Structure 1
Amino acid sequence: MSGGIRITGADITPVAFRDPALLNAVGVHEPYALRAIVEVRTDQGITGLGETYADGGHLRRLRAAVEVITGMDVHTLGGMHRRISEALNGGIGAGGHGLTGSATGSGAADRVFAPFEVACLDIQGKAAGLPVSDLLGGAVRECVPFGAHLFYKRAGHPGREPDEWGAALDPDGIVAQARRMTEDYGFGAITLKGGVMPPEEEVEAVRALHKAFPGIPLRLDPNAAWTVETSVRVARELDGVLEYLADPTPGQRGMAEVARRAPMPLASTMCVAAFDELSSAVARESVRIVLADHHSWGGLQRSLLLAGICRTFGLGLSLHSDSHLGVGLAAMTHLAAATPDLAYACGTRWPWKSEEVVVPGALAFADGAVRVPTAPGLGVELDRDALARLHEQYVTRGLREPDGTGRIRRIDPSYERRSPRR
């Protein structure tokens, strides 16, 4: 096989990092977010990095996958995906879904393969002296634009001191949150995570953002919390205000009905989250914008394949992210840099994060964008002390399966999760 760089093993290190009391359609974030750092080792002494989810089922599959890819050349990515797929069909690492708290049909093989693919591209880039964006066809932009991701939130987790962001439970709080993010990071687009308050209150919050930040594109994402009729009503009330409305209602059929009646385009990271969901979404005209996440679409090269399909069918494309660390941001930045048809600023939850595993300096936000690293590979290096500290935090805090609904019910026993709701 070409390349002559063979995998000798991989380390999977789950970590926990502090997360504020952010509210969403299924409850509230746990005090810690979970990620796993993947380090692929080779016979040439070059190590590659990947980042992924860290719920229990996904970790079991990742560790089982290491066994089937050990010995493979880092350039044989197609064969690696096939081998992982075959092993999963054989039952390795059964249980769990890799996307804790999300309703998605994305394939387990793509989710397991993604961090290994990123790590192998990191190795390829280091060996060739090229940034990962060059391996993806070359950067078409030097800087990648990102948007602010706002949340309704409590002042702090129960029993703990208020965090530095404070509460945001009304339009004034949301606007104050947005003002700080735009001032600190220069974001030129804003997404509000909805599905938390009554829809009319979220409409009021978006209108307040529109008044406070004229000319800045606004998005609303209620995580499929609403009925079709509620979704249509909100869409019409925000005509001329929203750039797009993301996942207002569950499922492709419901989304298609809203899309026919809404004045703005619909986007999705939920009803179109895997390749086998694309054809039906196109046929039903369920969405006009796909919010892709390379962690669930099978890595960077398969995300570029998705971009080509979107181009073919006239769909817009942007990149979505959950809570992530620097390895994930670096991979996302290289992907966005090499994606010509990136029509919208990417999503990020970076400002909510106060802990990190990469050495500072390689990634920074300026004017709402991240400059694409030009060093070989991903261009980031692990901070070993920080990695060890966040792994110890994972071990001692005992959080293994984040449950936003269960947590908010412990805080408020009367909480009732209803989806979709009016």
Structure 2
Amino acid sequence: MTRDLTITEVRLTPILVADPPLLNTQGVHQPYTPRLIVEVVTADGVTGVGETYGDGTYLELAQPFARKLVGRQVSDLNGLFTVVNEVAVERARVEGQVDVGGLRGVQTADKLRLSVVSGFEVACLDALGKALGLPVHALLGGKVRDAVEYSAYLFYKWAGHPEGVAGEKDDWGAALDPAGVVAQARTFTERYGFTSFKLKGGVFPPEQEIAAVRALAEAFPGHPLRLDPNGAWSVTTSLKVAEALADVLEYLEDPTLGTAAMAEVAAGTSVPLATNMCVTTFAEIPEAFMAGAVRVVLSDHHYWGGLRNTRELAAICRTFGVGVSMHSNTHLGISLAAMTQVASTIPGLHHACDSHYPWQSEDVLTERLAFEGGCVKVSDAPGLGVELDRGALGVLHRRWLDDDGSLRERDDAGAMRVAEPGWVAPSMPRW
């Protein structure tokens, strides 16, 4: 039977999702974070789902983009990039601003377009897979593994959001010193079976974070460990930390900002450097690779324009002998399913992928994805293999509608000012 793959409707649902008080160098996560759920509907009634950032700049681009897709074929994935370039971006809102939510440096109109396209591309692939009876990994060339390994994503954390701030309770407790970090890691291992650990740094002076990683190494001997201060350190400090942890780190992620500084650090240490900050577009690859600035690129289909671009990135990395893993933002199950599908198709994925998903107590799926032994099984069901829970989606959308606008833009520095009124996002390098 011939299927009609014409797109007849695109639904965009902005939501606010509960987020714990996780600390980073910019501040602290807000009690709720914005996400955007994308639904693409075909003439045959097949619906595909996608997910991306939900801040205002993304919504302003996604809405006209969605209208332009009606009448096009859901299989026209290359056309998504042509169409999005036809949509004007209010550059004054993005050029030269710091994207605090992603902690990935300056936002540009081109990066914004890629992040918006990613959610639509995933939705189209999901719909196409459902229409053809094929999993997304088959549309990407087929899986090379049946399960994808993820790493425990450790954060310095408050026990709860500041008094008087609305937010959801969690049972993780505080983690503000090495003992707290180790306790958090043990909980991750007990609940999900993770065997590798990444600590979000840049929160406390480097000596304290070195002590935390050392404590992890003692508690979990031989397990892969990573540290990510989001560019909070100078070159000199980065080299000191690398020397202090050279015997236990799998890699050091973005210790300092910019390709030139990363290259200087890389030249002075044997510890592999990883990034999701100085290499976030194809145009940034040549300089970084030629300078030897990074040995692992953390891909993120939200940044790079979707799952097919993620595969292209992985192929380029293989060509230059650069490792690849996967970066994570504050995502729900749709994005985790997409990450798992594309990760299953990438040869030589030697590093466990990052995921915030265990931190998210809410989802828009009828069934949460499960971690078994630190891995997510690759679904062979048509599309992404997930089903949207419209009731849950409605609840999270109502929260977005009822918000006064203060939470519709991710602002970690603003959230920190609730607890520390004089807080300003620190200039880099912080140490």
Whether these two folds match at TM > 0.5 is yes
Matched, 1:347 2:354: yes
Offset from partner CA, 1:52-78 (integer Å, 9 cap, x none): 000001011011101222211111111
Per mean C-alpha deviation after superposition, the further-off stretch among 410-419 and 34-43 is: 410-419
Partner of 2:420: 412
CA distance in 2 between counterparts of 1:388 and 1:148 reads: 30
Instruction: Work out the CA distance in 1 between the residues paired with 2:169 and 2:6.
Output: 49
Counterpart amino acid of residue 119 in structure 1: A
Instruction: Determine helix, strand or coil for the equivalent of 1:346.
Output: coil
Give distance in 1, aligned partners of 2:90 and 2:309: 23
Counterpart of 2:410 (choices 383, 402, 412) is 402
The C-alpha deviation readout for 1:90-146, integer Å capped at 9, x for no partner, is: 447973489552225562221121111111111111111110011111111001000
Contact 1:57 1:93 in 2 (8 A): no
Corresponding residue pairs, total: 418
Letter in 2 for 1:52: T
CA distance in 1, matches of 2:68, 2:292: 39
Q: Deviations over 1:176-217 (max 9, x none)?
A: 000000111001110000000000000000000000001110
Of the three residues 108, 120, 123, the one matched with 1:119 is 123
Verify the 8 A CA contact 1:54 1:98 in the aligned structure 2: no
CA distance in 1, matches of 2:106, 2:317: 19
Gaps of 5+ in 1: none
Contact 2:297/2:325 (<8 A) preserved: yes
Structure 1: distance between partners of 2:148 and 2:98: 27
1:143 is matched with which residue? 147
Provide the rounded CA distance (Å) in 1 between the counterparts of 2:5 and 2:106. 35
Partner of 2:53: 53
Aligned AA (2:264): E
The aligned runs of 1:20-419 (5 Å cut-off) are 20-85=20-85, 87-88=86-87, 90-91=88-89, 95-96=93-94, 100-101=100-101, 102=103, 103-104=105-106, 107-159=111-163, 163-360=170-367, 363-398=369-404, 399-416=407-424, 417-419=426-428
Please report how far the alpha carbon of residue 327 of structure 1 lies from its aligned counterpart in structure 2 after TM superposition: 0.5
Cα deviation code 1:145-169 (max 9, x no counterpart): 0000000011110116963111111
Aligned partner of 2:409: which letter? E
> SS at 1:107's partner residue?
helix
CA contact 1:98–1:111 (8 Å) conserved in 2: no
Structure 1 length-normalised TM: 0.95
Identity %: 51
Contact 2:56–2:408 (Cα < 8 Å) also in 1: yes
The answer to whether the 8 A contact 1:193-1:220 is kept is: yes
Instruction: Show structure 2 runs of 5+ residues with no match.
Output: none
TM-score (norm 2): 0.93
> How far apart, in 1, do the equivalents of 2:66 and 2:230 lie?
33
